[in-house]
Amino acid sequence: MGRYRLLDLVIDLDRQSVERGGVRLDVSGLSFRLLTCLVEQGDRVVTFDELIAAVWAPAVVNEETITQRVRLLRQALGDDARAPRYIRTVRSRGYQLGAHAVPDLAEHGTRRFTLWPALTAVGVLAAAAFGASFLAREQKPVPSAEQQILDRARWYARMGQRDNNERALALYDRALHEAPDDVDALSGASRTRAARTCLYNGSIDDARDALRIAGRAVAVGPDNARAWAALGYARDCLGDIGGAIAAYEGAVRLDPDDDATRSSAAYLYQEQGRLADALHANLDMRGDPSRVRYRDVQLAREYELLGYATQAGQRYKQVFELAPDNVFGNIGWPAYLFAHGRFDEARVAIAEARRRDTARPELPILEGELALRRGDRPAATNAFAEAHALRPEASLPETLALLHAAQPITGEALQQRIASIRKALASDPWPASRFELVWLLQASGDHRGAIAALDDAVAMGWRDAGYLRASPLFAPIAADPGFQDVIDSIERRTRAERERVLGAKWCPADLPCERESRAGAFVQDTVP
């Protein structure tokens, strides 16, 4: 820390002030932090990633946010982007100072004359050390063009937005064109393709391509954690829970610090009904948990399923309010409100999430369920049709659209649909996929079969009793004693998971734990 001179500016890092000719400039907050980061790096180019980590972390921002903040800082300094004096743009890389920022030893009046004579042997050594560190920084090797491409691709991929995902994919493909066997490029190309399917309503063919590329990455780099994580994500997007978990766990064994992959495995444990394992994995972060993009939503879901509704609601709401670009936060909060009977609030939250361009079928499906609850069948018809249009290759939205169309599916067409879904479910490990069969069997009048299908979903891991109670999609069987038996089964299984959590050494502090120790390790306890 200290004072620096940058041309005619005096920058006091301790006092957080910038002056020109003795006049203080209006530079504060994020603008001052940005300037501090640039000053501390000398005249080195500071990348977008470094600026995000130093100035904005733990918040997740994009390049446009940085650009706007640099514009505000330039305005405060009186700098001209077309002929910059203080801050220079380095295209596609980041920013750097337009001149050397040198330590200012003339802080106040005669202090100049009391400090300079102190440059005795100690002062000379200190100056030499400063010079050596400066030269070492100057001599730091510049990343190769290929490495710069990969670094930039990773930066775009982390933004979690459709356009940035496409930019990352283009860069990864460019890197593969130059080096077809580069494991990092293969892994990145696989993940961004799979994200098209998982996050952005792309074709299932994208996930299949991702699986092929990830297989190549693992073949080239069998000991590379990123390759195994990419393989897990591709399998995850294709619905292969067992295969995805095996690959994710393999990645964590190779790199125990890979928190993002640990959290991905946690999500699948949750889907299997392994709530204690899921919560443990998401709590056992080795780095900064805030940098694991969807972890907070998963924690909220795990708290909810374990029966801690208050803690879950607080987490859902915080993500929804603070991270408007979090796709699953935009789904999780309205779904939580719906499952807990707060239907008016759910409608408001859905409307807000829709304004954020969350183009996923879960939101119109929720809208359709809300419409059914208030008896507005035309609105439900439109909502389910929209969900199907958003993901035309997905079977569940299509079934809802068929069952709630102006002319619902009946007769032989209904029986053929039931047979087709039964066949597909034989190889489908996702518990919620059984709902499709439940709804079709209800429509055919086979309530006993519908309850059996619902019981199968619970046996496979479904644990959200609140949703089953709240959703009008199960109204035809809700009064059947078998339906209550399903609810009771969920509550028994959930109680067992809750007891595991409360008795564990790693039990979180906001729960009524039986032990105070927070020891325990995900890799030892969960990963073979």
Which CATH number characterizes residue 241's domain?
A: 1.25.40.10
DSSP letters of 201-268?
---HHHHHHHHHHHHHHHHH-TT-HHHHHHHHHHHHHTT-HHHHHHHHHHHHHH-TT-HHHHHHHHHH
Tell me what pLDDT residue 514 has: 84
163 with 236, same domain: the answer is yes
Please tell me what DSSP assigns to residue 52: I
User: Is the per-residue pLDDT at 389 higher than 50?
Assistant: yes
Query: Which pLDDT score, from 0 to 100, does residue 136 have?
Result: 47
Q: Is residue 82 part of a domain?
A: yes
158 in the same domain as 118? no
Tokens standing for residue 236 = 């995850």
Residue 139 lies in a domain: no
Q: Report the alpha-carbon angle 120-124-127, nearest 5.
A: 140
Question: Does 429 reside within a domain?
Answer: no
Which of 230, 255, 280 finishes a domain?
255
- Stated as kind and residue range, the H or E segment containing 482 is helix 481-502
**∠ CA 70-75-76, rounded to 5°:** 100
**H or E segment and range at residue 24:** strand 23-24
Residue 236 burial (CB count, 10 A) = 25
DSSP 82: T
Tokens of 410: 């009946």
> Domain of 19: which CATH number?
1.10.10.10
**Which strands form 3-6's sheet, in the order they lie side by side?**
23-24, 17-20, 9-12, 3-6, 101-103
Q: Which of 122, 156, 177 is the last residue of a domain?
A: 122
pLDDT of residue 358: 64
Is the model's pLDDT at 215 over the cut of 50?
yes
Residue that has been written with the tokens 């928190």 in this structure: 259
Distance CA 512, CA 497 (A): 14
CA atoms within 13 A on the CB side of 134: 14
Q: What's the pLDDT score for residue 143?
A: 67
Q: Could you tell me if 42 and 105 lie in one domain?
A: yes
Contact between 53 and 288 under an 8 Å Cβ cutoff? The reply is no
User: Which helix (H) or strand (E) is 305 found in, with range?
Assistant: helix 295-306
- Residue 86 shares a structural domain with residue 161: no
- Mean pLDDT is lowest, of 39-48, 131-140, 461-470, for 131-140
- The more confidently predicted of residues 524 and 8 is 8
Task: Encode pLDDT of 137-182 as tens digits.
Answer: 445 566 677 888 888 888 888 776 788 899 999 999 999 998 999 9
pLDDT confidence of residue 126: 38
Q: Are residues 111 and 162 in the same domain?
A: no
Question: How far is the C-alpha of 266 from the C-alpha of 281, rounded, in Å?
Answer: 6
Do 109 and 210 belong together in one domain? no
Name the pLDDT band for 526 (thresholds 50, 70, 90): very low
Q: Which of 376, 300, 377 is nearest to 339 (CA)?
A: 300
Are residues 117 and 13 part of one domain? yes
Task: Give the count of beta carbons closer than 10 Å to the beta carbon of residue 122.
Answer: 9
Q: For the ranges 81-95, 229-243, 370-384, which has the lowest average pLDDT? A: 81-95
- Amino acid 515: pLDDT: 56
Domain boundary among 203, 231, 255: 255
Classify 23 as helix, strand or coil: strand
Of all residues in the chain, what percent carry a pLDDT higher than 70?
A: 88
In this predicted structure, the answer to whether residue 199 has a pLDDT above a threshold of 90 is no
Has residue 123 got a pLDDT over 70? no
Residue 212, in any domain of the structure? yes
Which domain covers residue 67, as residue numbers?
Answer: 3-122
Dihedral angle computed from the Cα positions of residues 469, 327, 259 and 58, in that order, rounded to the nearest 10 degrees: -120
User: 262 and 284 in contact (C-beta within 8 Å)?
Assistant: yes
According to DSSP, the residues that pair with 398 across neighbouring strands are: none
Q: What is the mean pLDDT of the chain?
A: 87
pLDDT over threshold 50, residue 294: yes
Same domain? 118 vs 13: yes
Rounded to 5°, angle at Cα 345 from 339 and 346? 45
Q: Which residues pair with 47 in a beta bridge?
A: 94
Cis peptide before 408 (omega within 30 of 0): no
- Contact assessment for residue 91 and residue 81, using Cβ atoms and an 8 Å cutoff: no
Dmax (CA) of the chain = 99
State how far the Cα of 209 lies from the Cα of 400, in Å rounded to an integer.
Answer: 29
464 falls within a domain = no
Number of domains making up the chain: 2
Are residues 116 and 9 part of one domain?
yes
Same domain, 13 and 66: yes
Does some domain include residue 497?
A: no
CA dihedral 49, 52, 53, 58 (to 10 degrees): -130
Lowest mean pLDDT among 186-195, 359-368, 497-506, 518-527: 518-527
158 and 100 both lie in a single domain: no
- Examine the domain organization and report whether 95 and 164 are in the same domain: no
213 within domain boundaries: yes
395 lies in some domain = no
